[in-house]
Amino acid sequence: MRGDRGTTERILNVLRPYASNWSGTLGRGDLVIPQREIPRLIHEILDALHDEAATRKEAGDRELFDALMAARRSASVQDQAEILRRHFLILLR
């Protein structure tokens, strides 16, 4: 998903200043975050996630009708499900 890539990049940009420089016992991919910075980092990561969630909106009746009519013409139930997955983000409740 395109939105996931943007969210991932925002989170990585928050964490990049804390990447280790491979010295001492630290290795590649380790983060060194001062304890006083942790609350700020958590808030910035949550803001990135909330911004992504806010851009997603519920499908309207017209979009739902169009997708269902397109799926109805498909030969198999698997094809119908694939059409719906392409058009919408389907979440379990």
Amino acid at 11: I
Give me the pLDDT at residue 26, please: 57
| Tens-place pLDDT, residues 17-76 | 888 766 666 566 788 888 999 999 999 888 888 877 666 777 888 988 988 888 888 889
Does the pTM of the predicted model rise above 0.85?
Answer: no
As a whole number, mean pLDDT of residues 13-20 equals: 83
- For 67, the enclosing helix (H) or strand (E) is helix 61-72
- Of the chain, the end-to-end C-alpha distance in Å amounts to 20
Q: What is the three-state SS of 1-60? A: CHHHHHHHHHHHHHHHHHECCCCCCCCCCCECCCHHHHHHHHHHHHHHHHHHHHHCCCCC
Whether residue 2 has pLDDT greater than 70: no
